[in-house]
Amino acid sequence: MDSSHAMREAFIMRFGGVYEHSPWVAEAVFDDGNVANDLSQLAQAMAAVVDGASRERQLALLRAHPDLAGRLAVRGELTQASTDEQKSAGLDQCSREELERFQTLNTEYTDKFGFPFILAVSGKNRTQILENFEARLGNSPEQEFATALGEVHKIARIRLEKLAKE
């Protein structure tokens, strides 16, 4: 294996999970030569790859995200990053009523928009998340697609900041 291939593999191993189940973002950043040592530049390069992707690829990225307080979380089947993020917002401590509300909203939202509700939950509590959820159900499909992509970028930025501290 040549050194450039090894460097690419190492980059993808480190940054491939920044966008949920979408290592193609890190692959494209590396292949485009946008590998920056600066966190802000790397975040911008990754966001530009996503923003420049086809609508189908963006939709696949949105659909790669888990439901908040959903079945995967209950079964412990989230990525480590998603588990940590949901725990930080107390979603692992939902009452039965809150869990039922999340699951009802998850179903309503996915039925309406075709992808799961996505919110950068760091720094938010369950009440704030539920309020966001209910408010965003009133958005148009185009508004919500754009809002969800914006939230995905926020999540990616938080994950990059966490990686930078490790």
Backbone angles phi, psi at 112, to 5 degrees: -75, -45
The DSSP code sequence of 83-108 is HHHHHHTTGGG--HHHHHHHHHHHHH
C-alpha span between 136 and 117 (Å, rounded): 9
For 127, the token pair is 């009440």
Nearest of 99, 95, 73 to residue 86 by alpha carbon: 73
C-alpha span between 151 and 85 (Å, rounded): 13
Question: Is 65 marked active-site?
Answer: yes
Q: In the 8-state DSSP scheme, what is residue 65?
A: S
Token pair 């990059």 is at which residue? 160
Token pair 């990053």 is at which residue? 81
Residue 66: what residue type? Answer: P
Residues tagged active-site: 65
